Structure 1
Amino acid sequence: MEEAILRAAMEELTTNGYAAMTMERVAQRAGTNKNAIYRRWPTRAALGIAAYTQFVSTNTQVPDTGSLRGDALELLRRANSTFASPIGGILRALLAGARDDPLLLAQLQERTADAGSAPWLTILARAVARGELRPEALHPRVATVAVVLLRDEFITRGYPAVPNSVLADILDEVYLPLLRGRGTAHPPDPSG
């Protein structure tokens, strides 16, 4: 039943968007009643987030190109494609809804606390195993810098899809230098 409800919620989000999604419509699509939904998800926000996060998590395969840059570029391209798709539109609607709904914001923060770090940490762990990086690079906040910068491009610049040249800049000018710099000795602070 839960899978049917989440699938129906995702269909509703894709078809009508978060603003128009109602528990009644989701129940109708899932062939159940609103009470069955409310027992599992007390709010529309909770249901929308659950549907979105399940969809995104079941559609993530970690690339293995044999190099850190190749893997990171592939993950960025996939994220770019997702952000530019109707699924990305759902995420943007959930984020926009969070501005006026403290409950939705708290739920989004709870569900996305790791910012999707698992695939990024996987490619970094492979790079450490290949000797491309030091183990100090394995940190969730550091791992997700590239995708956070990509998300910022969508939010601040309003790109329908971020150009490949920007993806290369994110990797070559920020992400890879950051990762390679982790674990290096820092000079002592002269101010004490």
Structure 2
Amino acid sequence: MATEDPAGTRTRRRGPDLEHAILRAAADELTESGYPGLTMDRVAQRAGTNKNSIYRRWPNRAALGIEAYRLLATSVEPPDTGDLREDVLELLRRANRHWSSPLGAILRDLLAAVGGAPELLARLREDPRDDGAAQWLTVLGRAVARGEVRPESLHPRVATVAIVLVRNEFVMRGVPVVPDDVLVEILDQVYLPLVRARG
């Protein structure tokens, strides 16, 4: 991929520079057209490269879409209110806002596209915005330190069960947004009884 430096000399972008240009182009395409509108041709044109350069790095459109989505989905710090219930409710509300946003629509389309591909699903499960296990384990770990729940509750599947149920509302039920009373029900009827019963 050729670009001009300040002196007007043509240079060829390679390695990380080219990879970043491709990801930035794919992220811009996702923002403008969503995942259904993302094509290798349009990304290549936007990045000023060819499709072969893209396919050498990402084997298919879904893999490229996931990495571009991750570029858009910047990480946020988990809440720290001093109370487990309030922290979890805030995490659920953040996730709800994210999943019902245009960026969340891209995430839902990507989930539908990857189907049963475990390596791609694993990358989506690392979503920095709402359901990475690290955020949930951080919130739960603080609750353990405060004596609200026992250390036995610090298990990734236990920690993330609430967000899995919220995600299910979007993916399986197709709701545009989860009502707040459903979030509270998941929290009070499922999540808190589960983590408090551990140990």
TM-score category (smaller protein):
0.7 to 0.9
Q: 1:52 to 1:138 in 2, by over 3 A?
A: same
Shift in Å at residue 113 of structure 1? Answer: 5.1
The whole-number CA distance in structure 2 between the counterparts of 1:175 and 1:42 is 38
> Which residue does 2:157 correspond to in 1?
141
Amino acid at match of 1:63: P
What TM-score do you get using the length of structure 1 for normalisation? 0.84
Structure 1 spans left out of the alignment, 5+ residues: 184-192
- How far did 1:95 drift? 1.9
- Flag the 1:46–1:156 CA change in 2: closer, same or farther, 3 A: closer
The Cα shift of 1:42 comes to 2.1
Give per-residue Cα distances to partners, 1:24-59, cap 9 Å, x unaligned: 211222333333322221221111111223433x23
Higher deviation after alignment, 31-40 or 134-143: 31-40
AA in 2 matched with 1:110: A
Shift of 1:71: 1.1
Distance in 2 separating the partners of 1:75 and 1:87: 17
Deviation at 1:117, TM superposition (A): 0.8
8 Å contact kept, 2:165–2:186: yes
Of residues 80, 101, 104, the one that matches 1:88 is 104
In structure 2, the CA distance between the partners of 1:32 and 1:39, relative to structure 1 (3 Å rule), is: same
**Alignment check: 8 A CA contact 1:13 1:21 kept:** yes
Q: Of 167, 180, 183, which residue of structure 1 is paired with 2:183?
A: 167
Please identify, of 84-93 and 110-119, the stretch whose mean Cα deviation from structure 2 is larger. 110-119
Map 1:1-192; keep pairs closer than 5 Å: 1=17, 2-56=19-73, 58-99=74-115, 105-112=117-124, 116-183=132-199
**Distance of 2:79 and 2:31 partners within structure 1:** 26
Residue of structure 1 in register with 2:7 after alignment? none
**RMSD between aligned residues:** 1.9
Question: Structure 2 CA distance, aligned partners of 1:54 and 1:143?
Answer: 25
- Report percent identity of matched pairs: 64
- Name the structure where helix makes up a greater proportion of residues: 1
Q: Distance in 2 between matches of 1:30 and 1:130?
A: 50
**Number of aligned residue pairs:** 178
Secondary structure of the corresponding residue to residue 19 of structure 1: helix
Q: CA deviation at 1:144?
A: 0.8
Name segments (4+ residues, structure 1) moved above 6 Å. Answer: none
Paired AA for residue 178 in structure 2 = V
CA distance in 1, matches of 2:82, 2:168: 28
